[in-house]
Amino acid sequence: MKKDFGVLKNGEKAELYLLTNGNGVEIAVSNYGASWVSACIPGKDGAKRDVLLGYDTAAGYEAGGESIGAVVGRSANRIGGAEFTLNGKTYHLCRNQGDNNLHSGPDFFHKRLWKVLEEDDSHVVFALESPDGDQGFPGAMSICVTYTLNSENEVRISYRAESLEDTICNMTNHAYFNLNGHDSGDILSHEVWVDADTYTRTDCDSIPTGEIVPVEGTPMDFRERKPVGRDIDMDYEALIFGKGYDHNWVVNGAGYRKAAELAAAESGITMEVYTDRPGVQIYAGNFLNNEQGKQGAVYQKRDGICFETQGFPDAVHHENFPSPVLKKGEVWETATAYKFIFP
């Protein structure tokens, strides 16, 4: 079902697309930014909770500065020095976080109106044409992002991209989850499990050093499920630099597999994360601050947590990281699913 989602500053109208299954799960996505807007999940009390932070209208997403619900591209996360060299040529990006580039901004993919190729009650296909030189990256790129809600209560996000020249490609989704409800306060009591023996170390600007560090014996170890808040403020370099959890974990194994899990005792809802990507950035909302959200909610520090499946940050500068280069004529395809389990 399609609904009006408001008018943008330039006068364009945005739409909201509602997806449902037979188990009481309802999600909404918008052609503005190909954004994931809501996820209404039954809790143990039988009442549905919207477990996604977000805004009431497209205007909220247009004004918002925290990438809430966003499809992030061409390259998610950070590129050190806001430049890279590819095929002997150096490309300069916008320095929108100190001297570095974050999420390819500020001309973000999630601040654009996407075309709708298909839509029904179970899936929507969004498309975007990114011209050569867009955001500073080479090569005209054609992109499709598909949201599918299935009978297994999985929200599957599939990405497909092709470029007319060699370029960088590393897209993700930046949804913030709070399984007790988007307006229920912080997520510090939520429990997290991550299938990762290592993470990528960063400097004080959150730029990877190239080191891959074991989680063993550190507060970065989520191989046994534990509350987000248990170790988040420990005196540990990574947590000091990130102001809490905001790091890339190296997911064990390869191919499409379970990477992480989030659980909330209050609602009884659990979310499993599946992906074929090599890493997952877990960001505990450390910089949320008076963000005016939907239904009158005001999001504060650590009111939501993100599981951004991805290639490693700044991989273009580290030969030991999986390459982020999409070759001319090749097809980049990847998928991530968020599976909700409830009483």
- 123 as an active site residue: the answer is no
- Please list, in sequence order, all residues whose beta carbon lies within 8 angstroms of the beta carbon of residue 176, skipping any fewer than 6 positions away: 52, 53, 66, 68, 69, 285, 288, 299, 303, 304, 305, 306
Instruction: State how far the Cα of 165 lies from the Cα of 162, in Å rounded to an integer.
Output: 9
- Please list, in sequence order, all residues whose beta carbon lies within 8 angstroms of the beta carbon of residue 217, skipping any fewer than 6 positions away: none
Say if residues 59 and 6 touch (Cβ distance below 8 Å): yes
- 319 as an active site residue: the answer is no
Pick from 28, 72, 22, 23: which is nearest to 50 by CA? 28
Instruction: Measure Cα distances from 267 to 155, 227, 296, 307, 328 in Å.
Output: 19, 15, 21, 19, 47
Positions of E strands within 151-219: 154-163, 167-168, 172-173, 191-194, 196-202, 208-214
Which residue is associated with the tokens 């190909």? 34
Catalytic residue among 103, 110, 174, 190: 174
CA 338 to chain centre: 11
Helix (H, G, I), strand (E, B) or coil at 84: strand
Catalytic residue among 62, 66, 162, 308: 308
Q: Compute the radius of gyration of the chain from its Cα atoms.
A: 19
Q: Which residues are catalytic?
A: 174, 308
